[in-house]
């Protein structure tokens, strides 16, 4: 079985897990939630297996590089990071409602990677990408992106809880308490911000070795900085002005929209980081 086959199956398994989480939340069935947890763990394992097998296939083709060099490979890794971070949170906080949101995003990411327009071929690296900094830069950035995706989901939950019905039998009543959601948003942003910062630094060092400059205002670099500043504002207002609740949730959502444009939008623009140019 090839890595592409495993990852295609994994996409459907992620979809099943998301469905089970949503069904557990809607129908208030804990048995469905427990099943969803195991299906998510299985999905993450399949995601990891497909990633590793693709790496081995690269060596068998005589190319030999980590599967982190094009959009398809980065999407596969992105979904894996989201799943792992979610599983850790579920185990720590003993809440499965978040899975209805987080695992749905992991599924959508994998589904997007399966679209016909996404190049899933294993190809040789262009000269600028042949560097040990590739793995460090991409992994740290996507750990940050994964944490921001989770913080986005939690922020959506916060807004639903804040503005939803107070009826004890309503769907929003099964969401975690507002103070828990607010604190968890902050923790995820802190975690993601740390790794995004490391990713930007390693990217600058890599750029210097590849192109002889640390920063060149490439669209990807510019939007990475914008994203970094949005989350810096969130943390500043939290620390210095004591912002909490809805304002932090809105900033978290804006930050993730910036992440999405940094990841997807800039590929429509000419630049050194465009996946279209790399594929």
Q: Are residues 39 and 101 in the same domain?
A: yes
Using an 8 Å Cβ cutoff, are 188 and 150 in contact?
Answer: yes
Q: Are residues 147 and 25 in the same domain?
A: no
Q: Are residues 172 and 84 in the same domain?
A: no
Q: Are residues 115 and 133 in the same domain?
A: no
Last residue of a domain, one of 103, 121, 139: 121
Cα distance between residue 55 and residue 64, in whole Å: 7
User: pLDDT digit string (tens) for 174-190?
Assistant: 999 999 999 999 999 99
Residue range 241-260: average pLDDT? Answer: 95
Q: What is the pLDDT of residue 279?
A: 31
User: pLDDT digit string (tens) for 11-30?
Assistant: 999 999 999 999 999 999 99
SS3 of residue 264 by DSSP: coil
Residue range 118-143: average pLDDT? Answer: 88
Q: Are residues 96 and 162 in the same domain?
A: no
Instruction: Report DSSP state, residue 117.
Output: T
Q: What is the CA radius of gyration of the chain?
A: 19
Q: Are residues 181 and 71 in the same domain?
A: no
Residue 243: give the domain boundaries. 128-279
Residue 275: name the closest of 139, 119, 130 by CA. Answer: 119
Q: Are residues 132 and 117 in the same domain?
A: no
Residue range 198-210: average pLDDT? Answer: 90
Place of tokens 């299985």: 42
Instruction: Give the whole-number percent of the chain exceeding pLDDT 90.
Output: 75
Last residue of a domain, one of 91, 121, 151: 121
Strand residues in the chain grouped as ranges (E): none
Q: What is the pLDDT of residue 271?
A: 54
Q: Which of 76-85, 130-139, 143-152, 185-194 has the lowest mean pLDDT?
A: 130-139
Start-end of H helices in 28-132: 30-60, 71-93, 97-113
Q: What is the pLDDT of residue 276?
A: 41
Using an 8 Å Cβ cutoff, are 271 and 220 in contact?
Answer: yes
User: pLDDT digit string (tens) for 210-227?
Assistant: 778 888 888 888 999 999
**How many Å separate Cα 28 from the centre of its chain?**
27
Q: Are residues 163 and 266 in the same domain?
A: yes
The yes-or-no verdict on residue 278 having pLDDT over 80 is: no
Q: Are residues 139 and 264 in the same domain?
A: yes
Cα distance between residue 207 and residue 202, in whole Å: 8
Q: Are residues 14 and 44 in the same domain?
A: yes
Instruction: Give the whole-number percent of the chain exceeding pLDDT 70.
Output: 95
Q: 18 to each of 155, 161, 184, 219, how far by Cα in Å?
A: 18, 20, 21, 34
Q: Phi, psi at residue 177, to the nearest 5°?
A: -60, 155
Mean pLDDT of the chain: 92
Q: What is the pLDDT of residue 220?
A: 87
Residue 138: name the closest of 215, 69, 207 by CA. Answer: 69
The number of domains in the chain is: 2
Last residue of a domain, one of 61, 95, 121: 121
Q: What is the pLDDT of residue 272?
A: 53
Output the domain CATH number for residue 36.
Answer: 1.20.120
Q: Are residues 80 and 167 in the same domain?
A: no
Q: What is the pLDDT of residue 184?
A: 97
Cα distance between residue 80 and residue 100, in whole Å: 16
pLDDT level of residue 273 (50, 70, 90 thresholds)? low
Q: Are residues 82 and 177 in the same domain?
A: no
pTM of the model: 0.94
């Amino acid at each position: 079985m090839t890595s592409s086959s495993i990852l295609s199956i994994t996409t459907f398994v992620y979809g099943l897990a998301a469905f089970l989480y949503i069904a557990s939340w809607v129908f208030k069935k804990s048995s469905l939630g427990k099943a969803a947890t195991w299906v998510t763990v299985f999905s993450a394992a399949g995601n990891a297996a497909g990633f590793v097998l693709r790496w081995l296939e690269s060596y068998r083709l005589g190319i030999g590089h980590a599967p982190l060099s094009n959009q398809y490979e980065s999407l596969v890794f992105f979904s894996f990071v989201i799943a792992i971070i979610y599983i850790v949170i579920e185990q720590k906080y003993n809440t499965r409602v978040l899975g209805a949101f987080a695992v749905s995003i992991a599924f959508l990411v994998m589904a997007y990677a399966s679209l016909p327009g996404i190049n899933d071929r294993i190809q040789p690296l262009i000269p600028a990408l042949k560097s040990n900094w590739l793995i460090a830069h991409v992994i740290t950035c996507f750990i940050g992106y994964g944490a921001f995706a989770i913080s986005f989901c939690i922020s959506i939950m916060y807004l639903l809880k804040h503005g939803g019905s107070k009826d004890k039998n309503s769907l929003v009543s099964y969401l975690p308490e507002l103070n828990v959601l607010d604190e968890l948003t902050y923790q995820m942003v802190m975690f993601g911000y740390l790794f995004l910062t490391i990713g930007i630094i390693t990217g600058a060092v890599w750029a210097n070795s590849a192109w002889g400059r640390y920063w060149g205002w490439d669209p990807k670099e510019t939007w990475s900085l914008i994203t970094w500043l949005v989350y810096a504002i969130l943390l500043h207002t939290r620390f210095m002005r004591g912002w909490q609740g809805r304002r932090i949730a809105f900033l978290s959502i804006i930050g993730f929209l910036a992440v999405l444009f940094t990841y997807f939008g800039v590929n429509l623009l000419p630049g050194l980081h465009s996946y279209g140019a790399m594929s």
